[in-house]
Amino acid sequence: MAEIYRRPELAAQMAKQLLHPGVLDEGLRSGLFLSGLRRTGKTTFLLNDLIPALEDAGALVIYVDLWSDTQTSPAALVLSAVKKTLADLQTPASSILQKLKRVGGADVGAFGFKFGFKLDSVGAEGGTTLAQALTEVVDQAKTDVVVIVDEVQHAITSEDGNQMLLALKSARDAINPRPDTPGHFIFIGTGSHRALVSELTARRNQAFTGATSVPYPVLNGDYVEHLLKRLAQEAAVPLPSAAVATHAFATLGNRPEEMLKALRQLRHIPPGGNPDEHLPVIAATLRSAAADIELMKVEQLGGLATAIFERIASTDGDARGVFSSEAAAEYTKAIGREVRVEDIQPVANDLLAANLIMRRGHGVYGVTDPFVQEIWREKKALGSKA
Ligand SMILES: Nc1ncnc2c1ncn2[C@@H]1O[C@H](COP(=O)(O)OP(=O)(O)OP(=O)(O)O)[C@@H](O)[C@H]1O
Ligand SMILES: [Mg+2]
């Protein structure tokens, strides 16, 4: 059995909604944003399920992961993915062209696509805009072009990223409203930060206002049963029941890696022990252990870092005034020594550098990993009860 549990039906249904929306789903053409916690399989789902489903339905897919290379700006990453696709379309034997010929009605000559612009000029100042380039692609391919940006929330933290989103939006607005467009432009963004991703569609000054934002469909009991079947074949550990295992999976935030770790620990239960009794305990312990590592990093950065982190973690991801004199007074009280306003920035920078907090916009901060924030809150609640 394959290692990756696939969800072809779910993917095919999503592809259908995106490419051939019914009246109620037409809004999806304005853009679709999927958000889900870290390590829950978003990228795996895109690469193994959704992209193949979209391609099988005849669409041309351009995929960019903004986390693949944090040194390069989001705009440069998107641009280079688009250019690569354009180059492939001009290359007669490229697999992308073969696919288009196979599924679509694209009338592709023996020599590939011919564009009325130079590749190098795309996205350059005064050159061909993304909107112009993608319009030509839609017109020649006679099919839908789907641009998928994984971890899209990184784009809104910089000016250049925001420009890139606006450029994609104008591609959408150049292509879709034409009365007899031979295909549509569809944008899909995913992200680990729910509040941030929703904000992309909700705030009026964001490029994709009005687009649809939905939770990423996490793996569920079907995945767990698939995993248990594979384990049964190997007879490696005493097997828990499907119900208990599914519950443990939920405890672990529906994260496959954590689930495997938990199941591995079943090897160490005493002979004759009941896995159904042990697994919930293992899962509960692992759940906080993962977040503890992150919370330890905060502690190691010192008292002021902890106070700043707590101020940010106690909001719903939109902490403001982190550097205000009111905040300085709060930190002073929390750590019992005087904190001046100018002391705050360097320590906040340490937290940012360790990816524990993230800047979400001008003067707005949030905890990077919502799961860590959740565990922090649970601990806080326990602490205040004691
Ligand atoms: N359908 C699946 N079947 C088996 N394993 C999976 C599946 N989906 C994800 N995984 C495993 O879970 C881990 C996380 O997957 P993935 O990187 O796709 O998640 P993600 O949500 O994109 O994470 P990140 O937040 O780091 O971007 C990987 O080790 C992956 O192999
Ligand atoms: Mg990912």
| Predicted local confidence at residue 235, as pLDDT | 80
For residues 134 and 119, what is the distance between their CA atoms, to the nearest angstrom?
A: 12
Nearest alpha carbon, ligand 1 atom 1: 5
Nearest to 58 by CA among 30, 9, 20, 6: 20
Q: Which atom of ligand 1 is nearest to the CA of 6?
A: 1
What spacing in Å lies between the alpha carbon of 68 and ligand 2's midpoint?
9
Report, as ranges of residue numbers, the positions in the chain whose pLDDT lies below 50: 1, 386
Residue 322 phi/psi, 5-degree rounding, is -65, -25
Nearest to 108 by CA among 118, 120, 93: 93
38 alpha carbon, closest ligand: 1
Where does ligand 1 bind, in terms of residues with CB under 6 Å?
4-5, 38-44, 192, 219, 256-257
Its pTM stands at 0.85
Q: Where are the domains of the chain?
A: 8-215, 221-290, 301-385
**Angle, in degrees to the nearest 10, between helices 74-89 and 95-103:** 70
Residue 173 phi/psi, 5-degree rounding, is -75, -20
For residues 148 and 43, what is the distance between their CA atoms, to the nearest angstrom?
A: 11
What spacing in Å lies between the alpha carbon of 207 and ligand 1's midpoint?
28
| Predicted local confidence at residue 359, as pLDDT | 81
How big is the chain, counted in residues? Answer: 386
| Predicted local confidence at residue 386, as pLDDT | 45
| Predicted local confidence at residue 107, as pLDDT | 63
Residue 212 phi/psi, 5-degree rounding, is -90, 135
3-state secondary structure the chain: CCCCCCCHHHHHHHHHHHHCCCHHHHHHHHCEEEECCCCCCHHHHHHHHHHHHHHHCCCEEEEEECCCCCCCCHHHHHHHHHHHHHHHHCCCCCHHHHHHHHHCCCCCCCCCCCCCCCHHHECCCCCECHHHHHHHHHHHHCCCEEEEEECHHHHHHCHHHHHHHHHHHHHHHHHCCCCCCCCCEEEEEEECCHHHHHHHHHCCCCCCCCCEEEECCCCCHHHHHHHHHHHHHHCCCCCCCHHHHHHHHHHCCCCHHHHHHHHHHHHHCCCCCCHHHHHHHHHHHHHHHHHHHHHHHHHHCCHHHHHHHHHHHCCCCCECCCCCHHHHHHHHHHHCCCCCHHHHHHHHHHHHHCCCEEEEECCEEEECCHHHHHHHHHHHHHHHHC
Query: 126: which 2 tokens?
Result: 């005064």
- Amino acid type, 1: M
If one counts every other C-beta atom within 10 angstroms of the C-beta of residue 350, the result is 19
36 alpha carbon, closest ligand: 1
150 alpha carbon, closest ligand: 2
| Predicted local confidence at residue 128, as pLDDT | 95
Query: 226: which 2 tokens?
Result: 């698939």
What spacing in Å lies between the alpha carbon of 300 and ligand 1's midpoint?
29
| Pairing mode, strands 185-191 and 145-150 | parallel
Report the chain's C-alpha Rg in angstroms. Answer: 24
What spacing in Å lies between the alpha carbon of 192 and ligand 2's midpoint?
8
Residues 31-79 pLDDT 10s: 898 988 888 999 999 999 999 999 999 999 999 999 887 788 899 999 9
Task: Report the CATH number of the 301-385 domain.
Answer: 1.10.10
What spacing in Å lies between the alpha carbon of 29 and ligand 1's midpoint?
27
Beta bridge partners, 215, equal 35
Q: Which of 5, 6, 44 to mutate to test the pocket of ligand 1 (most atoms within 8 A of CB)?
A: 44
Task: Report the CATH number of the 8-215 domain.
Answer: 3.40.50.300
For residues 120 and 117, what is the distance between their CA atoms, to the nearest angstrom?
A: 9
Asked if 330 contacts 338 with a C-beta cutoff of 8 angstroms, the reply is: no
Q: Is the dihedral of CA 92, 86, 190, 30 positive or negative?
A: negative
| Predicted local confidence at residue 1, as pLDDT | 45
